[in-house]
Structure 1
């Protein structure tokens, strides 16, 4: 077997049998569309045959090694690397490691399924619906996507960041595999920061319950939601903490009740980040919702680029 594949598979196996740590100490990865991340798991998306540029931020660059399972890797110098994706959609794995310290990061590269291959409202049998050809008010945040992540029975369980799996963000509509979704890395960074703050407040949480992540235009319309919902553009999530999986928000403020006050714990943390100039690039919408017969208390969070409150 090729050395690259052995290295990548070895790291994936390691993370599958060990507790996932939040940080990869010693170095970080900087992508153009996101800040420097220090997670030991992360992801990026790219169209078939296109490139992803990234910088490995480390003191001793000569100790850094990068391997790709399927795509091609080119070292440019000064910590800069260029990944070239395969010509077919699917998922690839990058292993970035320090050969001296043995510290490693695994990056999942999702090679997108092009939307220009849709037949009517369907992509490989999965109903997407139709994105507007022109973005809302000409904003780039509402630009029609070129492609979507293909989710299969084989890759749905991939950890795309330390605390979140790909399947958590799937649209709720019923369908066979493959399914498709749009997901912005910035949203995952924001959610990971939220978990980090909960840990600082002594809240033992392994993940967040994603009540609603991506929505296809078809599904979004079918539930009567607003046309330009950020869920349709892959950078929004409706969330709450539910460690015991009982469908009720956990008692985050330790008052022995399950109320809006628990959702407000999450709301306050996100609001704090949105008001911090250092995290302006993650700014977005924030709303809180009361419980009803269908769901518990929860908050909406997104990274639309400007504040919106409700």
Structure 2
């Protein structure tokens, strides 16, 4: 059986029809929810693997939200110093040296655990002349208008050979979010937990609909301002703030899971199905904290169609012709917008505003 990637973002061969063949056996998917919730520095941590991004010396607060009457919880954090404030509540200080530190919380009664990947950032002030340790980041534009809330990143995750394989959430690894610019040696990335939460939710929804996948491939995630300018993308692209990803699914093209709309072909209409899935999920009042942009892009000579998602904090919808946006009676054609990786890469949004991809 020949395995190739099913694409909603990079190598989807449009018009590739499924003519039959043996179905691949996929491992059962688990969303990997922890057995208890933890509040960590104003975030609610729900998965058995979570990430916190903190600055050197920053105060770190962790509190189990479902303590129970006599439940006992333990915390282990090699290389870090935490003190117990009260039952199942701790306060610590992030180490002064940037890097990845492991924090493990465990419930004694049933050994349920929650693992926090604590990334101590290289502060933004280390950026000199657009570079850190020789890595070309470029200069961040000062956010304005609807993106004024972006601010400047507080710092950067330093990516090394030792931590690039680390999981930043149950189903995604740090290496999946690196800028596509070629570089040898240390790399730096901005990554926001809102994006990780959104990707995990999308993956969970796909699996609930019967499309079994253990992860999503990312055509593009973090982009440095230098790289973003080099490819002529939108000046305020959410990719630069670690808030956006362009995604596709991987799988066996002989498997019906690749055919999201069950029409017998793997093509742009399957990307439309993913667009619709995320669009519908975002309208649920329980998910307003992860609201953002969704963009649909057609194939080019270099890659197939893909779906852009982000957690910008307000809703925006767009499609690059001949892809279509959902409307009354189904998907409707939209006017031609900017070329992919061309200019001006700002596209009309369904809400009447302008999208920043």
TM-score by length of 1: 0.87
What are structure 1's unaligned runs of at least 5 residues? 1-18
**CA drift at 1:269:** 1.9
Give the aligned partner of residue 103 of structure 1: 112
**CA drift at 1:138:** 7.8
User: Greater relative contact order: 1 or 2 (C-alpha under 8 angstroms, separation 6 or more)?
Assistant: 2
Pair 1:263-2:286 in alignment: no
**CA drift at 1:186:** 0.9
The count of aligned residue pairs is 288
Give the aligned partner of residue 294 of structure 2: 286
CA distance in 2, matches of 1:120, 1:293: 36
**CA drift at 1:260:** 1.8
What are structure 2's unaligned runs of at least 5 residues? 1-27, 319-357
TM-score by length of 2: 0.76
Q: Which deviations, in whole Å up to 9, do the C-alpha atoms of 1:84-135 show, x marking residues without a partner?
A: 1100111101001111201111110110011212231110110000113x32
From 47, 62, 83, the equivalent of 1:74 is: 83
Provide the alpha-carbon RMSD of the alignment: 2.2
CA distance in 1, matches of 2:49, 2:29: 9
SS in 2 for 1:55: strand
From 159, 168, 179, the equivalent of 2:167 is: 159
CA distance in 1, matches of 2:31, 2:86: 28
Q: For the Cα contact (< 8 Å) 1:24–1:104, is it kept in 2?
A: no
Higher Rg? 2
Q: For the Cα contact (< 8 Å) 2:56–2:121, is it kept in 1?
A: yes
**CA drift at 1:222:** 0.3
Q: How does 1:49-60 map to 2 (within 5 A)?
A: 49-60=57-68
Say which is worse superposed, 107-116 or 68-77, in terms of deviation: 68-77
SS in 2 for 1:160: strand
CA distance in 2, matches of 1:244, 1:185: 30
**CA drift at 1:32:** 4.3
Give the aligned partner of residue 15 of structure 1: none
SS in 2 for 1:195: helix
CA distance in 2, matches of 1:244, 1:153: 30
Pair 1:214-2:217 in alignment: no
Pair 1:202-2:210 in alignment: yes
SS in 2 for 1:27: strand
Q: For the Cα contact (< 8 Å) 1:65–1:98, is it kept in 2?
A: yes
**CA drift at 1:140:** 4.9
Give the aligned partner of residue 182 of structure 2: 174
Which has the larger helix fraction?
Answer: 1
From 137, 145, 150, the equivalent of 1:142 is: 150
CA distance in 1, matches of 2:262, 2:42: 38
Say which is worse superposed, 142-151 or 218-227, in terms of deviation: 142-151
CA distance in 1, matches of 2:246, 2:104: 31
Cα 1:245–1:50 change in 2 (3 A) is farther
SS in 1 for 2:223: coil
**CA drift at 1:21:** 4.8
Give the aligned partner of residue 241 of structure 1: 249
